[in-house]
Structures are given as structure tokens and as C-alpha cells.
Amino acid sequence: EVQLLESGGGVVQPGMSLRLTCEASGFTFRREAMSWVRQAPGKGLEWVSTISGSLDSTYYADSVKGRFTISRDNSKNTLFLQMNNLGVEDTAIYYCAKDARSGGLVLDYWGQGTLVTVSS
């Protein structure tokens, strides 16, 4: 059974940093691209970032480029999202999701999400 468990969310002030973690199990982690998708309170879904299984490719939404860094540790089946210089607009539930295939974004498994609140 595929399981994705996010952690690391919390309340931070604008300008601060936070690191999200997603622990994966139930599939061959190193073979699969992984993504982060966020959802602001009461709003729709926003793709944030994707990393290939082999670590050779990363992609970012313009809204987070230069501030967020996606990474993974295939030896520990873990995905990360380092978020720097956070703003109130980054307040959202952050979901870790597994890509169903390489090429294009089709997210077949999602974690329960971790809430990030940026507030002064």
C-alpha cells in the first residue's frame, strides 16, 4: 500500500524558513517523480514543484522559484521542500504526491497534507 506522510508544517513569521518532509512507502521510491502541490485555505489547487526520480530534473512554479528548493533522499525514501523567505501568500496545506509516470504530471497518490501558516 502506497503511503505518503508529510510533516514539518507550522506557524512562522514572514521572511522565515521552513522545511517540509514527506516519508514514502509502499513503492519503489527512487523510480518515481514526486511533487508538491499546495492549497490555500478555501482555495483551489496549485502545483508547486516536481523532482524526477533520478534527481536530475527539478521544476518550480514561478511563484516559488528562487525561494523554494525540492530535493529527495532516495536512500531514505524521503522527499523535502525547503521554503525560504516565506510570505503570507504561501499559507496553505502542502501535499506531497507521487507522479504516476515520467513525463507530464499525473498524481496518483497524495499524502494528507501539512499546514503552513505564515503570519506576523
Partner 1 sequence: DIQMTQSPSSVSASVGDRVTITCRASEGINNWLAWYQQHPGKPPRLLMYDASRLQSGVPSRFSGWGFGTDFTLTISGLQPEDFATYYCQQAKSVPYTFGQGTRLEIK
d(CA 91, CA 67): 14
Beta bridge partners of 31: none
Beta bridge partners of 51: 34, 58
Asked if residues 20 and 116 have their Cβ atoms less than 8 Å apart, the reply is yes
46 binds partner 1 (CB under 8 A): yes
d(CA 47, CA 12): 22
The nearest distance, CB 12 to partner 1, in angstroms, is 23
Interface map 61-90 toward partner 1 (x if CB under 8 A): xx----------------------------
Residue from 28, 85, 112, 119 in contact with partner 1 (CB under 8 A): 112
Compare residues 23 and 75 and give the one whose CB is closer to partner 1. Answer: 23
Compare residues 83 and 96 and give the one whose CB is closer to partner 1. Answer: 96
Task: From 46, 43, 22, 40, select the one nearest 109 (Cα to Cα).
Answer: 22
Stretch touching partner 1 by CB under 8 A, among 15-23, 24-32, 53-61, 70-78 = 53-61
